[in-house]
Structure 1
Amino acid sequence: MSTLFSLAGKRALITGSARGIGLLLATGLAEAGAEVIINATTAAGAEKAAAQLSEQGFTAHACAFDVTDAAAVEAAIEHIERDIGQIDILINNAGIQRRRPFLEFPEQDWHDVIAVNQTAVFFVSQAVAKRMATRQQGKIINIGSMQSELGRDTITPYAASKGAVTMLTRGMCVELARHNIQINAIAPGYFVTEMTQPLADDQAFTAWLTKRTPAARWGKPEELIGAAVFLSSRASDFVNGHLLFVDGGMRVAV
């Protein structure tokens, strides 16, 4: 069983991993034995996070690039594969949130949300999957959301972007599974993060959330690590096109 979930000898690129859930997932994969590549938009951010992991005894590299820039993505993936080594696992974690009522939602905020949450998944996945297909092996994990299938006030563009991630995951599975590439997604429920801290600080929202969720609490970010390790490991070799909800049962409750 230990080898079934081991990531020893594997190399993982996690986008948006200089902090928050991305850094947590990178740490979890490193603890499972993977060599990790930290991505951020700035070199300073990526290098700081990679240094933190290195100090803990893990093998970590920094690679700064803008996931919304197709040319920058292709150049970065080429650099990683040439100078660091092949990417065995990709986690498309980079994401942003903007909250405004739909009728007042600014056009630029719409473009920003779609660029980071949706288009970047396409750019990075395509660049990495081309190399994986040549090797006939790879794992891609997209980070979706509870809003991949459920709507909520003030975040309609975010929900639209995460719904698109679901269909990207399924479409990529249909086209890439024949190349022995497994593409799945994790759909977190409500976790206390930097992005959700304003909601966590809202007593009325937290009261609603704990009543609405069968587990009756917010999720802890570290509770996402198991799902990421599973979908990165040999244990998930016949799991493909799947959207794994980690939500305390919220999606199935009425």
Structure 2
Amino acid sequence: MPNVAGRRGFSVQQSELAGTVALVTGAGQGIGAAVTRALVDAGAVVAAADRNPGPLAVLADELSGRPDAHGPVHPYTLDVTDAAAVESTVDLIERQLGPVGILVNVAGILRVAPVVELGDQDWADTFAVNTTGVFHTSRAVGRRMAERGGGAIVTVGSNAAGVPRTGMAAYAASKAAATMFTRCLGLELGRSGVRCNIVSPGSTDTDMQRALWQDDAAAAERRVIDGDLAGYRTGIPLGRIARPADIAEAVAFLVSDRARHITMHDLYVDGGATLRA
């Protein structure tokens, strides 16, 4: 099937993932919702999981009512910090939709504070979602993929995993752990035909990003693009902040057969902000 123009201006292969069951965590908003849209556009059957059922229902209604949607979306309420719930939900998804061929780990939280002021609970909560949650879902799905001899897992990390950020030690450390976990997983599952990669966004226009902005959004966005000397932070060479769809398109590539010989790779999608340090 020839490529056709996607509704966001990208080239979308409508049949590329036709019929493939994909599980996306943190699908209720931001990057997770954008990934769900991108996979639906490519024909996947998407199990959209989030611990907040409200946004999931809105997303499912939106995509179900779209005439240009090429795959269905099914909402599942899931807290990735609960290992038993992850196992039972993955089992339910496979019984209802079929074998999961794609897993995208997007669920994440951000707790901002200097290390000397960071509370124990904030540290624990950050790792519970951003790191242990990735372990729970990847273990449950990866085991099933390995038994079937194939599949693709993508963890949405962060460029903060490779470059220090003031006030973001818990977030950066949790994302660094999730990144190395995913690479180790790819090494272990490679002989079973399962590919495991990471997409590491920089500043992206999401609710999480906007929660960091204390004043006018336009001015705050400008500071992100220009950089912050006081915060030891470079700007964005491409001169724009990412949109969730930019991250989603990278994920859609890595789970597709176009990336069939790519595994254990960490793809930075940050407009050059880290200077690939």
**Which category of TM-score, normalised to the shorter sequence, fits these structures?**
over 0.9
Partners of 1:100 and 1:119 in 2: how far apart? 21
| Equivalent residue for 2:184, pick from 146, 153, 171 | 171
Partners of 1:49 and 1:33 in 2: how far apart? 16
Equivalence for 2:258:
235
Q: Deviations over 1:17-76 (max 9, x none)?
A: 012210111001110111111111144443332222111144111111111000000010
Equivalence for 1:19:
29
Equivalence for 2:219:
203
Question: What is the Cα deviation at residue 206 of structure 1?
Answer: 3.1
Are residue 252 (structure 1) and residue 252 (structure 2) matched? no
SS of equivalent residue, structure 2 residue 43:
coil
5+ residue gaps in structure 2? 4-12, 228-234
Question: Is residue 18–residue 46 contact of structure 1 (8 Å, CA) maintained in 2?
Answer: yes
More helix by share: 1
% identity of equivalent residues: 38
5+ residue gaps in structure 1? none
Partners of 2:111 and 2:19 in 1: how far apart? 38
Partners of 2:219 and 2:113 in 1: how far apart? 20
Q: What is the correspondence of 1:136-215 to structure 2 with a 5 Å cutoff?
A: 136-200=149-213, 201=217, 203=219, 206-207=222-223, 209-211=225-227, 212-215=235-238
Are residue 220 (structure 1) and residue 243 (structure 2) matched? yes
Residues 253, 176 of structure 1: alpha-carbon distance in 2 compared, 3 angstrom cutoff: closer
Partners of 2:42 and 2:21 in 1: how far apart? 11
| Equivalent residue for 2:41, pick from 16, 31, 38 | 31
Q: Hey, which bits of structure 1, 4+ residues long, moved more than 4 A?
A: 1-5
Residues 223, 5 of structure 1: alpha-carbon distance in 2 compared, 3 angstrom cutoff: farther
**TM-score if structure 2 supplies the norm length?**
0.86
Partners of 1:35 and 1:208 in 2: how far apart? 36
Quote the RMSD (CA, aligned, Å).
2.0
Amino acid at match of 1:236: A
